[in-house]
A and B are shown apart, each in its own frame.
Chain A
């Protein structure tokens, strides 16, 4: 007789059901696992053997074969321990076979029979929900699993408690959902003195989800401003939060099963490699750009990133997906991020101040800025010069708006966008799939939602010619103008909005 237990394998953010088959037959005693298993899965042998002996059970002296089917899908990770152990228990007639057929099982076993937490439980729970099955997962991941919906969840602390549950002698109670993470004390925008134009750009970026590049001398507050972006961004909708959490789940970054409604803010160091940023590695893992899905990817000291790394960002920024192609893995991770970058105008940073700039200016600046490729800069909607703060300003008490006031305006602008997108969805179903803000709109949808009036169109056309904007640049100006109109509570995009949007374009210096 062959015992069957169902588990899942992960491919990007998709999961695929895997049938764990356990057969015991006569012959020389052996225990082998087949079905394209990687090292962590093959090592399950020793963990399972030892966990069973911790319960006082020895593997019967038979030829035991475990097959992970379909056999052509690469299996990696440690979550196959528990399904294999349960399969063995079924074929040893310790557990009833029919109990397990309606569950998806995942978990890692310790040598003492405890069940250790694994990554990807949220995805498995969603797969279980889709297949109308229950879920068996580690106790530590229980509350993470509850977010997928109301399927039957067994969050077991140990193998023994799971056996007792199936035998009916000690029923496991369903896991409790932990409350979404409260935003801890966020930095306030009022701390930043001066820098009104940069704050305005930050507000626009937050309101429309636009990409932003801040350039200025060291110490002018670029990083300070970026760090305060999280405080003015609207919190995620339930659907966005789920998408983001799914990626965090694969990366094993959900702590205590707590989902966060706060948009992720990732700031990788500039020594980051391409796999670290885009995703990949020998086993495909989501990179920073995916971990920042629906949130902000902040790249400080932009030109210091290696050129290859920066250019690899082009595709995710455009399509909202990071495609990782490897010999033994070909996966796509969602990566809809808002890019916020900061840079110095030249190596010494003081290009605009003739008194302290180095002797190599302005050639140095040209060299420094040429590290950024044109196509990457073309994807940035808002360019803003952050000037050094004058001494007078530093001496004054902080007087600017607080993050709370700005956040209120941003939320209102986002609400307008959502209502508009919903109206579009009603007219043409499916047209706004995966689009939550102005910056993500494209093509027909953009033309529809950001139609400018006569004067505005004339100005835009003229500017396109004069500034030699690319087609993408043209559309980006329109998107920013749409957001400006939303902030000003205008339904129609008009000339002043276009003009302000144009002022945030990068001027060709030479």
Chain B
């Protein structure tokens, strides 16, 4: 899953080092447009329903946080 998530993220924002960034939201690295694109791709790719309620910084600050979010949504 990690590779697929990383591929999606890099496709949307190729200029970000997703492997090492841990403050993607706190430091305003990801914009709201990126978040919408990321969620839309996650929903399609992993057949999950990430909703507005999941849009908290903790879920999008890092690659690991996003993987955890998808795993939780799959439960």
Does B associate with A? no
By a beta-carbon cutoff of 8 Å, the part of chain A in contact with chain B is none
